[in-house]
Amino acid sequence: MERPNWAPGELDLTVPSAARVYDYYLGGSHNFAVDRAQARQAIEQWPLLPAALRANRAFLRRAVKFCLTQGIRQFLDIGSGIPTVGNVHEIAQAFDPACRIAYVDVDPIAVAHSRLMLSDNPNTAVIQADLRKPEDVLDSPEVRELLDLSQPTAVLFVAVLHFIADEEDPAGLVGRYLDAVPSGSYLVLSHGSSEGAPQRAAQHEDLYQRTGSRIFMRSHQRVLTYFGDCELLPPGLSQMTQWRPEPDDEYWGSPEQLSGFTGVAYKA
Ligand SMILES: C[S@@+](CC[C@H](N)C(=O)[O-])C[C@H]1O[C@@H](n2cnc3c(N)ncnc32)[C@H](O)[C@@H]1O
C-alpha cells in the first residue's frame, strides 16, 4: 500500500479519516485510496458535496475577516484540518501580520502538515488534541504561550461539531471553550445539516458509520443550541452561502442544496 514519506508510520491506511476525506473533496492531495473511495461514494449520493465544502471554506474566510474588522487578533481554530487554500493565518496575517493563530486537530496528518507549513511562522502553533478534552487544548503549553486568553479571541468550530455525538455534549464542549475567553470574544461555527434533505443526510451518516467514523447531520434548531449564551449576530444561523455573502463568491446549487448552517456570535 502507498505510504508517502509525510504519513506517520503508525497511521492505519485502511481506515478513512475525516480530515483526508475533506482534503479530497476540496481537491487536495493528502489522502489515500480508502479516503477517496469514501469521498466518491459520498459524492455519488450527494453530487453537490464538494461545492458545499467550498461554500463552507468561503464562510470561514468571510467570518475571519469579520472578526478582524471587530478588532480580533487571536484565533483558536478547532478542527482546523489539513492546510489548504485560505487558512486562517493567511487571511488574518494578510490583514495584520501580528495576528496569532493556534490550530487544533486530532488527525496526525493534519497536524504534521500544518506544522510543516508553519515552521517559519512564529505567530502560529499547531496542537494535536481531541476537542472533547478541552483541558488538553486550553492548558497546552503551545496555546498558553501563543495566545493571551485574557484578551478577546475568536474560537472557531468550522465543520467539526458534526463529528461529535449528542452524548458527548457538543453544546457543553463549546461552552467550556467560551468560558476560557473573555467578554468581547467571538464564536464562529458551521455545521452539516439534515434539513431540506433528510434522506440524503441519513445516507451520508450511514456511509460514514460503515466506513468507521461517525457524522451527525443536525437541524437548525439543534445547532442553535450550540451558541449558548452568546449573542448570535445578524444574519443569524444561516445557510452557508447566506452569511454576509460577498459579490465575488462563486457558488453552485441553491443554498438549501448545500445543507449546512453557519453563524458568528459575540460573547458579551
Ligand atoms: C471537515 S474538516 C474541517 C476543516 C476546517 N475547519 C474547515 O472547515 O475547512 C474537520 C476536521 O475536524 C477534525 N476533527 C474531527 N473530530 C475532532 C476532534 N474530536 N478533535 C479535534 N479535531 C477533530 C478532523 O480531523 C478534520 O480535520
DSSP single-letter state for residue 149:
T
Residue 250, domain extent: 55-201+210-266
Please indicate, yes or no, if residue 165 is contained in any of the structural domains.
yes
Mutate to test the pocket of ligand 1, among 38, 106, 135 (most ligand atoms within 8 A of CB): 106
What are φ and ψ of residue 180, in 5° steps? -85, -5
Domain count, the chain: 1
Classify residue 21: in a domain, yes or no. no
Residue by residue, pLDDT tens for the chain (268 residues) are 567 766 777 778 888 999 999 999 999 988 999 999 999 999 998 898 999 999 999 999 999 999 999 999 999 999 999 988 899 999 999 999 999 999 999 999 899 989 988 999 999 999 999 999 999 999 999 999 999 999 999 999 999 999 999 999 999 999 999 999 999 999 999 999 988 888 888 999 998 887 778 999 999 999 999 999 999 999 999 999 999 999 888 766 777 777 899 999 999 9
Predicted local distance difference test score (pLDDT) of residue 2: 64
Q: Give the pairing type, strands 186-192 and 260-266.
A: antiparallel
Residues 6 or more apart whose CB falls under 8 angstroms from that of 69 comprise none
Ligand 1 within 6 A of CB of 109: no
Residue 103 domain-assigned (yes or no)? yes
Give the residue, by CA position, lying nearest to ligand 1 atom 9: 57
pLDDT at 1: 55
**Residue from 38, 59, 130, 163 whose mutation best tests the ligand 1 pocket (most atoms within 8 A of CB):** 163
CATH code for the domain of 237:
3.40.50.150
Residue 227 falls within a domain, yes or no? Answer: yes
Residue 130 CB less than 6 A away from ligand 1 = yes
Residue 11 covered by a domain: no
Of 253, 68, 74, 62, residue with least CA distance to 158: 62
Q: Would 86 be classed as within a structural domain?
A: yes
List, in sequence order, the alpha helices (H) in the chain: 18-25, 33-45, 49-69, 88-95, 108-117, 134-138, 141-146, 170-179, 198-210, 220-224, 255-258
Substitution site in 87, 113, 160 for ligand 1 pocket (most atoms within 8 Å of beta carbon): 160
Please report whether residue 47 resides in a domain: no
Q: Is 188 in the pocket of ligand 1 (CB under 6 A)?
A: no
Is the residue at 95 inside a domain?
yes
Is residue 131 within 6 Å of ligand 1 at its C-beta?
yes
Whole-number pLDDT of residue 221: 96
- Preceding amide of 235 cis, omega within 30: yes
